[in-house]
Amino acid sequence: MIRSAICELLGIEYPVFQGGMAWIADGKLAAAVSEGGGLGIIGAGNAPGDYVREQIRRARSLTSRPIGVNVMLMSPHAEEVAEAAAQERVEVVTTGAGNPAKFMPMWQEAGIRVIPVVASVALAQRMERMGAAALIAEGGESGGHVGELTTMVLVPQICDAVGLPVIAAGGIADGRGAAAAFMLGACGVQLGTRFLSAEECGIHPVYKEKILKATDLCTMVTGKRLGHPVRSLRTPFARAYARAEYGGMPDEELEALGTGALRLAVQEGDKERGCFLSGQCAAMVHQEQPAAEIVREIMEEAEPILRGASKWVE
Ligand code: TUI
């Protein structure tokens, strides 16, 4: 049994978070992960406050265990989502794609543990000063909006820079990755891509199939020119976007090109126009499984690896 400071802090069984994936991580998936002993997180993405409130209530009807909400800070609805999370008193708020400082007092007054995703040491230190309960250090192997650094170099630097519990994210798909994250100083892991294969994950079957069939070089990063790099599967959409990006398309037209592409992937399974966000570990996802089984399997795989780590020492 692997337990760590984050389990005690949040009252969860296993130190495994499910990433709050935009358009994907709804109340059903989050509840299934939490019921399985991890921390299920509802992804707000660009959705309005009412949608998030509805998903929180849906999750609450399916589990009495702690749940989280991810507030995507670039969303035009970030403010109302932040308020909905506070009013519904979820146990945890994670944030992504920005600096959540202005919302932190509100969440803290509601008794919520704030766990920002950080991709740099500077933001990690700022978040510690603001009273974050823990941090998620997310490397650029992850899907969606990505930072510059890899998990391998980011996690130890964040661990050295702060005194908070650190959750590692990016490139982790199984117990080997989780064990490695502990070795780097993390006390927990967050996985997104692996949970795309969960039975309770409601993405279009085409999306699931693409993840299950993915190979090592299947993802690429687009959007660097506009300042928000995004990792997704190398599909016709991603290739066309990259061509437009490096072919001098004006910024507004480029922004418009991306609009609606996430929804087309998740809900329609549109192979031509959809943007299928995925981490680099997609090739390590092999089968559809219940979310609870994924959580348990990762921990069961990590345990003998961590126990056996002493084999390297004379
Ligand atoms: O947020 C994510 N991943 C996401 S958000 C998303 S929705 C979206 N769709 C289209 C375009 C953009 C977003 C899909 N995937 N991960 C957490 C994360 N946060 N990764 C990196 C960061 C990050 C980067 C820079 C956090 C803070 C930051 O700097 C903030 C500052 O002001 O210092």
Kindly write down the DSSP assignment for every residue of 199-266, as one continuous string: TT--S-HHHHHHHHH--TT-EEEE-GGGT--EEEE--HHHHHHHHHHHTT--HHHHHHHHTTHHHIII
Q: How far is the CA of 164 from the centre of ligand 1 (A)?
A: 21
pLDDT digits (tens, 9 = 90+) for 160-178: 999 999 999 999 999 999 9
Predicted local distance difference test score (pLDDT) of residue 243? 96
Task: Please answer whether residues 169 and 94 qualify as being in contact, where contact means their C-beta atoms are separated by less than 8 angstroms.
Answer: no
Q: Could you read off the pLDDT of 299-308 as tens digits, one per residue?
A: 999 999 999 9
Please report whether residue 207 resides in a domain.
no
| Atom from ligand 1 closest to the CA of residue 223 | 11
The proportion of the chain whose per-residue pLDDT surpasses 90, expressed as a percent, equals 98
Q: Please indicate, yes or no, whether residues 168 and 254 belong to a single structural domain of this protein.
A: no
pLDDT band at 88 (very low <50, low <70, confident <90, very high): very high
Confidence at residue 171, expressed as pLDDT on a 0 to 100 scale? 98
pLDDT 10s digits, 259-297: 899 999 999 999 999 999 999 999 999 999 999 999 999
Compute the average pLDDT of residues 243-262: 92
Do 66 and 195 lie in a common domain?
yes
CATH (domain of 63):
3.20.20.70
Q: Are residues 197 and 302 in the same domain?
A: yes
Q: What is the pLDDT of residues 99-126, one digit of tens each?
A: 999 999 999 999 999 999 999 999 999 9
Q: How far is CA 191 from CA 21, 231, 314, in A?
A: 10, 15, 34
Tell me the mean pLDDT in the region 190-211: 98
Mutate to test the pocket of ligand 1, among 72, 145, 158, 262 (most ligand atoms within 8 A of CB): 145
Residue 41 and residue 194: Cα distance in Å, rounded?
14
Q: Are residues 43 and 116 in the same domain?
A: yes
184 pLDDT band, cuts 50/70/90, is very high
Question: Which residues are paired to 114 by β-bridges?
Answer: 93
Nearest CA to ligand 1 atom 5: 145
Lowest mean pLDDT of 108-112, 188-192, 197-201, 256-260, name the range: 256-260
Do residues 227 and 294 share a domain?
Answer: no
* 80 close to 49: Cβ distance less than 8 angstroms: yes
Look at residues 126, 194, 134, 198 and name the one whose alpha carbon lies nearest to residue 168.
134
Q: What is the pLDDT of residue 306?
A: 97
CA–CA gap between residue 152 and residue 141 (Å, rounded):
10
Pocket of ligand 1 from Cβ distances under 6 Å: 22, 45, 72, 74, 96-99, 117, 119, 123, 138, 144-147, 228, 230, 277
138 Cα to the center of ligand 1, angstroms = 10
Angle at 276 between CA 272 and CA 279, to 5 degrees: 145
CA nearest ligand 1 atom 24, residue: 97
Q: What is the pLDDT of residue 26?
A: 98
The H or E element containing residue 27 is: helix 27-35
> Residue 101's CB: how many other CB atoms inside 10 A?
15
Helices 291-308 and 175-183, axial angle in degrees (round to 10):
50
Q: Residue 248 above 90 pLDDT?
A: no
Please tell me the distance between residue 133's alpha carbon and the centre of ligand 1 in angstroms.
Answer: 19
Q: Which amino acid is at 11?
A: G
**173 and 248 inside one domain:** no
- What span, in angstroms and rounded, lies between the C-alpha atoms of 243 and 296? 42
Picking from 268, 196, 188, the residue whose alpha carbon sits closest to that of residue 232 is 196
User: Quick one: average pLDDT of 48-77?
Assistant: 98
Beta bridge partners of 198: 289
Domain count of the fold of the chain: 2
Nearest alpha-carbon partner for 110 in 136, 84, 129: 84
**Do residue 25 and residue 69 come from a single domain?**
yes
Return the H-helix or E-strand segment holding 139.
none
Instruction: Please determine, for residue 229, whether its predicted confidence score (pLDDT) is greater than 90.
Output: yes
Span from the CA of 116 to the centroid of ligand 1 (angstroms): 11
Closest C-alpha to ligand 1, atom 20: 146
Same domain for 188 and 228: no
Give the global pTM. Answer: 0.98
User: Within this chain, do residues 153 and 10 fall inside the same structural domain, yes or no?
Assistant: yes
212 domain residue, yes or no? no
Q: Supply the range of the domain harboring residue 143.
A: 5-202+285-306
Q: What is the mean pLDDT of the chain?
A: 97
- Closest-lying ligand 1 atom to the alpha carbon of residue 258: 10
Residue pointed to by tokens 């992960």: 33
Q: Are residues 266 and 168 in the same domain?
A: no
Ligand 1 centroid – CA 305 distance (Å): 32
**Residues 40, 69: one domain?**
yes
Which residue has its alpha carbon closest to ligand 1 atom 17?
96
